[in-house]
Structure 1
Amino acid sequence: MLKMLGAVLVIAAATMAGWLQARQYANRPNQIRKLILALRRLQTEIMYGFTPLPDALVRIGEQSGEPIKSIFHGAAKNMNPPWNRTAQDSLQTAIEEGWRFTAMKAAEKDVLKGLSFNLGTSDRKDQLSHIMAAVHQLESEEACAREEQNRYEKMFKSLGLLCGAFIVILFY
């Protein structure tokens, strides 16, 4: 009886691990899409709203949802007193602090870090062109993420169960 309970627990744990990995593949394209929408909102704020960057980041963060929200809120917080950091420093710090809560990979992080070098340091037209370039890069990353999701999500769900069953067979 105890062996049976142990086998069930091993299979359940391995299956759960497979499902968690599959969920990462499912969450990545959705989070990239949220990030793209947030950058497009930022573009609109810069173009039409004449909103100061920290206020625009807070407003965009409120509309984006987690984990994108925490990155934009962290950047806005670092730009305001008492820290008064530059847009580049505050955005990069917020990315480093909040990135572990996302399902996104290093390519998306690099796009945001590249954008941080130009955000708040040049005129409106230049910033808009850099945001547009970042959006295009993220759209291509989203297409790759959707392709990976279609390829690997189902595989990891099945692989978790099969690995659990294999471990149980090895122990018996």
Structure 2
Amino acid sequence: MKWLGAILIIITCTWIGFELAKRISNRPKQLRQLKVGIQALEAEMVYGLTPLAEASVRLSKQLGYPVNLLFERFAHKLELKGESAHVAWEQSLEETWSLTSLLKSEREILRQFGQTLGQHDRDQQQKQIKLTMVHLEREEAEARDNQIRYEKMVKSLGFLFGLLIVILMI
């Protein structure tokens, strides 16, 4: 019975380590998806003259989970609830944030981006999008760096922590 408990503790701690490592590896992917989404939104708005809600619906079908939910809920709030772009973006961020692997710094970048949505003419909007892209690229580089540096370590630490608990219990 003791051995079964020890094995369960090791398996659980290893699983936790793998889940934390998964969050570390998902962050650069989600940042890339956000960059693609914002660039596509820029193209739709500036060159295609597509309304924000319609462009967001298209993007939600093209992007992967959970970034697609952000654009889907944004479009929903713009279309059905008639919210302003800033308020709709803020609420969509709030609703979908817990599903992402992103950090507070990325949230602040996206909040600032949302504050400019629909507030300026096309040229100013394009400048704001480019500024957001620069910030997201910086965050993505940091996320890739962290992934290389910490992903394997977190996996190993999960297993080793479980082993430590078992040794201390025996």
* TM-score bracket for the superposition, by shorter chain length: over 0.9
SS of residue in 1 equivalent to 2:14: helix
- How far the C-alpha of 1:113 sits from its partner, in A, is 0.5
Q: Does 1:34 align with 2:36?
A: no
1:145 maps to amino acid: A
1:1-172 matches, within 5 Å, as: 2-81=1-80, 83-172=81-170
1:57 maps to amino acid: S
Distance 1:84 1:18 in 2: 43
CA contact 1:46–1:128 (8 Å) conserved in 2: no
- How far the C-alpha of 1:48 sits from its partner, in A, is 1.3
**Any gaps of 5 or more consecutive residues in structure 2?**
none
- How far the C-alpha of 1:46 sits from its partner, in A, is 1.3
TM-score, normalization: structure 2? Answer: 0.98
- How far the C-alpha of 1:80 sits from its partner, in A, is 1.3
SS of residue in 2 equivalent to 1:65: coil
Distance 1:52 1:33 in 2: 23
1:104 maps to amino acid: L
Distance 2:53 2:119 in 1: 14
Q: Percent identity?
A: 39
2:40 maps to amino acid: R
CA contact 1:15–1:164 (8 Å) conserved in 2: yes
CA contact 1:15–1:160 (8 Å) conserved in 2: yes
Distance 1:61 1:124 in 2: 22
SS of residue in 1 equivalent to 2:116: coil
Distance 2:164 2:91 in 1: 43
TM-score, normalization: structure 1? Answer: 0.97
- How far the C-alpha of 1:121 sits from its partner, in A, is 1.4
Q: How many residue pairs are counted as aligned between the two chains?
A: 170
CA contact 1:115–1:130 (8 Å) conserved in 2: yes
- How far the C-alpha of 1:66 sits from its partner, in A, is 1.0
Distance 1:122 1:144 in 2: 30
**Any gaps of 5 or more consecutive residues in structure 1?**
none
- How far the C-alpha of 1:32 sits from its partner, in A, is 0.2
Tell which deviates more after alignment, 58-67 or 7-16: 58-67
CA contact 1:75–1:91 (8 Å) conserved in 2: yes
Distance 1:79 1:136 in 2: 26
Distance 2:104 2:83 in 1: 24
Distance 2:55 2:8 in 1: 49
CA contact 1:11–1:164 (8 Å) conserved in 2: yes
